[in-house]
Structure 1
Amino acid sequence: MGYVDAHTHVWFKEALPNEFFSNDSGYEYTPPSIQDTLKEMDSVNIDYIVIIAYPSREIWRTKEDFPINMIKVVKEYANRFSIVGGIEPNKLSLSEAKGWLEKQYEAGVSGFKLHPVHSHVKPNAYREEEGGLKQLELLYEFAQDHNLPVIIHTGTSVFLNARNKYADPIFVDDVAVDFPRLKIVLAHMGRPNYVPTAFQLVRIRKNIFGEISSIPPKKLLEYLPRLEEISYKTIYGSDYGGPGIKGIAYNLKEFMSINISEEAKLKMASDNPKALYKPLE
């Protein structure tokens, strides 16, 4: 049985807008080739990777067509890639939000991502006391009705236009309560500031899953000493393409060497992500 890297930013040049290469994020990204990516995956028995192709006007200059373009680029290798899309609900009209969700779903996305820190929107901004953002409510309803997970970034971001006041996972608690059939993934487990909150939410909310991408595997048990307790609903990911991540293969090897049971590792790096995200084929 092969593994899954459930959180990558392996963005291929052909899918990126020209504006991406002149963004002012403070981070330079060199897109890999598809063939080199496949070779690296094969070297560590990764069946497929999840590519998070989310819109971020403020950081990356990407918009809602990004995941659709990514799907077109990798369609020849559909069984090796799973594409997650998303919308920026506070940057679209209600009709635009609905239209893009439908287009991405028809194209074959396996889920949606909300990046509160990059889009400058709280995860519970749909609630009346938080502003009543109907476009965000639509995102959650659409994902719930179509049995697609929503990944929500938690924890701080180093990029220049990021606003880290939106990083606290506690705002996701409202989402779990208001959309009980929605599968919610806490990307990065709130690292570094909010790990205890994220851990507790994964423990107490049946529809919230943990996800450990971007936490260096060698420090994982420092951040989450009780990781094995939640291994049955936690997902492995590398965050490769992000700052400081050395590679898909390198990160998986490091993760497989940590001091938890082999059963827990297999759940997090194979069983759990395969239950949530499907490859394009």
Structure 2
Amino acid sequence: MVHGVHLPRGGPRRRGVAGIPRGHGPRAAAGQSLAPAHRRARAGGGPPLIRITDVHIHIQPWRDLKPLVQEAMRQGKEAHWDFLLAMMDDPKVLLEIMDRSGVWRVGLVNYVSPEVMGFTDATNTFAATYARANAERLLPYGGVHPRYSRDPAGDVDRLIDLGIRLLKIHPPHQLFPANAYTEGLDALGAIYRRCEERGLPVMVHTGTSIFPGARNKYGRPMELDDVAIDFPDLRIVMAHGGRPLYMEEAFFVLRRHRNVSLDVSGIPPAKLLEYFPRLAELADRTLWGTDWPSPGVKDLRQNIDQFLELPLTDPQRTAILETNALALFPAR
């Protein structure tokens, strides 16, 4: 099983609909395939999960990646690179994978990072256009780069007009700390302020990045302590919980500030309680995410199944997989 797609030994099968290997398409129409998959997942007890949201997957214009970044992204998935590029082009491919994986909605992570990743403002239009294929199930994320924007508040307004559901800040890839407005980057403060005013959630990457040129000194969660204090009505999503270096720092910030939620993407589910032993205390503010198909994340469904093996209560699992994301992103 590679990147959400079952491939037989000896190479890929003949392609079926939208590039999916034959024999591996959805079992039923998009709106009908979710409940059976989730009932299988909860066969050991508890009510079925029928509205899982993965708040953090990477559906991006990968052809725009800088060569060294693209090389790093390809590692381990060379045989399936063309398929992944096809998925970036065709939302039907992604929706079929979601159906097979028992995932109702996904957050399409996009942000502006011309220096490190190669992503320009065009990534916002990419995300919004891609999500129009199924506005209920595909949640487009976008970004405003405070070092390049001449009208940061207006650019936030334009994201909302595009249909963007969340703004992503990636300090190691955008080359500033999350609280850089305290050190003179006024445009960043203007972005946070307008998002707070308009009710647009902000996701901030915490922890390290493997990509060439990333400045990992900017990945500390503690900078979000300032942001949560200065913008108390801003809904902040802490992506990755500071993994793999800053989990204790992340937990401190999360416990201190009710307006900060944890996105567990990028953390191997089997290690989640090792990284956050007191995760149950944050169950009402923890969001399910995988980081798929980034390096090291092979399969949407496999991560869900591993998470369901953790010693959490059914209400805690349901909150993390379903209801917390519904509160952040009400169904449309």
Fold match by TM threshold 0.5: yes
1:52 to 102, 109, 114: 109
1:43 Cα deviation from its structure 2 partner? 2.3
User: Does residue 135 of structure 1 match 2:184?
Assistant: no
**Partner AA of 2:161 in structure 1:** E
User: Does residue 265 of structure 1 match 2:317?
Assistant: yes
Instruction: Report if aligned partners of 1:71, 1:107 keep a CA contact under 8 Å in 2.
Output: yes
Instruction: Report if aligned partners of 1:40, 1:249 keep a CA contact under 8 Å in 2.
Output: no
Report which structure shows greater RCO (CA 8 Å, sep ≥6): 1
* 2:215 counterpart residue number: 163
Q: Which runs of 4+ in 1 moved over 4 A?
A: none
CA distance in 2, matches of 1:203, 1:152: 17
1:230 Cα deviation from its structure 2 partner? 0.6
Structure 1's 267 and 261: CA in aligned 2 closer, same or farther, altered over 3 A? Answer: same
* 1:177 counterpart residue number: 229
Instruction: Report if aligned partners of 2:117, 2:173 keep a CA contact under 8 Å in 1.
Output: no
Instruction: Report if aligned partners of 2:208, 2:219 keep a CA contact under 8 Å in 1.
Output: yes
2:129 to 59, 63, 72: 72
1:17 Cα deviation from its structure 2 partner? 7.2
* 2:19 counterpart residue number: none
**Partner AA of 1:269 in structure 2:** L
Q: Cα deviations across residues 218-257 of structure 1 (Å, max 9, x unaligned)? A: 1111111111111011111001121110122222222222
Once the two structures are overlaid, the 10-residue window that deviates more, 71-80 or 178-187, is 71-80
Please, what is the CA RMSD of the aligned residues?
1.6
**Partner AA of 1:277 in structure 2:** F
CA distance in 1, matches of 2:133, 2:57: 19
1:98 to 153, 157, 168: 153
Instruction: Report if aligned partners of 1:112, 1:150 keep a CA contact under 8 Å in 2.
Output: yes
Structure 1's 10 and 257: CA in aligned 2 closer, same or farther, altered over 3 A? Answer: farther
1:91 Cα deviation from its structure 2 partner? 2.6
Aligned residues: 270
TM-score (norm 2): 0.77
1:90 Cα deviation from its structure 2 partner? 1.7
* 1:112 counterpart residue number: 167
Q: Cα deviations across residues 240-277 of structure 1 (Å, max 9, x unaligned)? A: 12111012222222222222112111101110011112
Whose Rg is larger? 2
For residues 1-281 of structure 1, the aligned pairs below 5 Å read: 1-11=50-60, 16=61, 18-20=63-65, 22-25=66-69, 26-28=72-74, 30-31=84-85, 32=87, 33-93=90-150, 95=151, 97-127=152-182, 130=183, 132-278=184-330, 281=332
Structure 1's 177 and 90: CA in aligned 2 closer, same or farther, altered over 3 A? Answer: same
**Unmatched 5+ residue regions in structure 1?**
none
CA distance in 2, matches of 1:257, 1:99: 45
TM-score (norm 1): 0.91
